[in-house]
Amino acid sequence: MSIPEIASKLVKNSFTELKKNSSSCTIIIVGSKNVGKSSLINTFLEKNEAPRETLVLEYSFGRKSIQKHGIDKTICHVWEYGGKLEMMKEALTAVPVEHNFYFCIMVDLNKSRSLWNVLEISLETIANNYKNPDTSPEIVIIGGNYDLFKNIESELKKLICTTLRSVAFLYKAHLIFYSQNEAPLVKKAKDMFYGMGFGKGISLKDKNTNYLKPLIIPKGTDSWENIGVSPENLDQIKARYISKISLEPTITIKSNYSEVQRTHPEPILDSLAALKCEELLNLQYFDSSIKEHLSCLT
């Protein structure tokens, strides 16, 4: 039995007692680095602790009594993935899905070059891991760091908003913009998560399709006509996006790297050397923010 299989079995066993006399849901949140995933989870679960860096997979849960005496409880299982995009499919196979299932993709609106990769790999993970209709999740696309995004050039902003609206409509997903620095957006996101975890599902009371303001579009309420483009599949949406914005290159490490580098007597030194090499590769393909990119052009 592999390590992920053992971990999955242990987690499922630990949830056996929690599932008795209770209803539950699962929320998985994935996406860009440093976009505010942990802060959003802490806000939803009303945790005051400072968010820590999510290395690979973090688990949290919330619990709410649904009877006066607290006999029956609603339990919300929250999983945050913070590892490499390339490892997402494998890592999430160990996550048990409980009853109502929501998959949140949080993209950094301020990182246009990496935005599409995050979105595409997340959607591929959903298609690959949750083929059974019984485990099919409700999808939520969250545009993070809106406080930085709102001040960028209008045409670029319109392109990103049109792209996200197109993908959300194609995949029957909810779309909402968020910033941990803007109280109204924090409240809307918290209310949405509360509906997922302890309510009757997602109920977005507001709707806005104007790209000059933070988008909030419940699933099924948009249309290709309103978006302003012809009906498209994912490849066509991608082609339109990358015709204007060059994507972040995919980082690949040569297969013989580990054999060449394992020259130290202590394995920990090999690990540190590998981490340093990866850090240098990441710097090579660093995706600067839109604001930084535009400042270089002036």
CATH of domain 19-246: 3.40.50.300
Strands 73-81 and 57-65: antiparallel
Which pLDDT score, from 0 to 100, does residue 259 have?
45
Find, among 138, 148, 137, the residue nearest to 177 by Cα: 148
- Profile the chain (298 residues) by mean pLDDT over runs of 10 residues: 70 54 82 93 88 83 72 84 92 86 97 96 96 90 97 95 98 97 96 92 92 96 96 97 86 46 56 64 54 51
Exposed / middle / buried, residue 206 (Cβ in 10 Å: 0-12, 13-18, 19+): exposed
At residue 278, the pLDDT reads 63
> What backbone torsions phi and psi does residue 15 show, to the nearest 5 degrees?
-90, -5
d(CA 78, CA 89): 17
Q: Where are the alpha helices (DSSP H) in the chain?
A: 3-14, 16-19, 37-44, 88-92, 112-129, 146-149, 154-170, 183-198, 224-227, 234-242, 257-261, 267-284, 290-297
Does the model's pTM come out above 0.85? no
β-bridge pairing 174-177 and 138-144: parallel
CB distance 278 to 253 below 8 Å? yes
CB 165 within 8 A of CB 209: yes
Q: What is the pLDDT of residues 205-250, one digit of tens each?
A: 899 999 999 999 999 999 999 999 999 999 999 999 999 998 877 6
pLDDT at 271: 63
All CATH 3.40.50.300 domain ranges in the chain, comma separated:
19-246
Q: What pLDDT, on a 0 to 100 scale, did the predictor assign at position 133?
A: 82
181: number of Cβ within 10 Å: 12
DSSP one-letter code for 148: H
